[in-house]
């Protein structure tokens, strides 16, 4: 297990190091495939077992982000790129992947939006994203 986050509120561990790939548009792709790649340019390259320990509520959550899970990176509006950074900034990718997966699969953390936000913020902090940028995100 790789402990990614460990603080007084939660712990986030991965079975292996997260590996994120970039999807490219290929000439042989259909119109729908190209549209999908434009919307979700990033892909999880290996099944990623994720273990969350919610120390506030004394709960544990385990879920796997499947291999080939596609996501859009950090959802930062273009207008804010000068302040925060672009949605493709590698500091944001692991945080965005985990957060997007939890948002799409609410059941993996018992639909706890506050926990989802705490996990996202904590993952960003570990990636050395500053307080102001994390607040905006």
Query: In this predicted structure, what is the pLDDT of residue 31?
Result: 94
Rounded to 10 deg, the angle between the 113-126 and 93-104 helix axes is: 170
Separation of alpha carbons 47 and 37, rounded Å = 20
What is the mean pLDDT of the segment spanning 104-109? Answer: 92
What is the mean pLDDT of the segment spanning 48-60? Answer: 95
Instruction: Enter the pTM of the model.
Output: 0.86
Q: Each residue of 76-95: pLDDT tens digit?
A: 666 666 666 666 777 788 99
Q: Each residue of 24-40: pLDDT tens digit?
A: 999 999 999 999 999 99
User: Looking at the predicted structure, is the pLDDT value of residue 13 above 80?
Assistant: yes
Query: In this predicted structure, what is the pLDDT of residue 82?
Result: 67
| 129 pLDDT tier (thresholds 50, 70, 90) | confident
What is the mean pLDDT of the segment spanning 94-116? Answer: 92
105 to each of 17, 31, 66, 99, 121, how far by Cα in Å?
Answer: 21, 27, 12, 10, 18
């Amino acid at each position: 297990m790789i402990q990614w986050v460990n603080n007084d509120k939660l712990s986030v561990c991965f079975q292996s190091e997260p590996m994120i790939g970039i999807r490219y548009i290929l000439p042989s792709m259909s119109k729908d495939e190209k549209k999908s790649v434009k919307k979700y340019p990033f892909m999880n390259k290996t099944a990623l077992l994720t273990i969350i320990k919610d120390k506030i509520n004394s709960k544990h959550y385990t879920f796997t982000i499947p291999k080939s899970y596609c996501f859009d990176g950090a959802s930062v509006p273009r207008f804010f790129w000068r302040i925060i950074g672009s949605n493709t900034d590698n500091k944001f990718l692991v945080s965005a992947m985990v957060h997007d997966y939890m948002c799409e699969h609410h059941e993996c953390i018992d639909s706890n939006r506050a926990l989802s936000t705490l996990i996202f913020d904590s993952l960003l902090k570990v990636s050395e994203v500053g307080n102001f940028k994390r607040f905006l995100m």
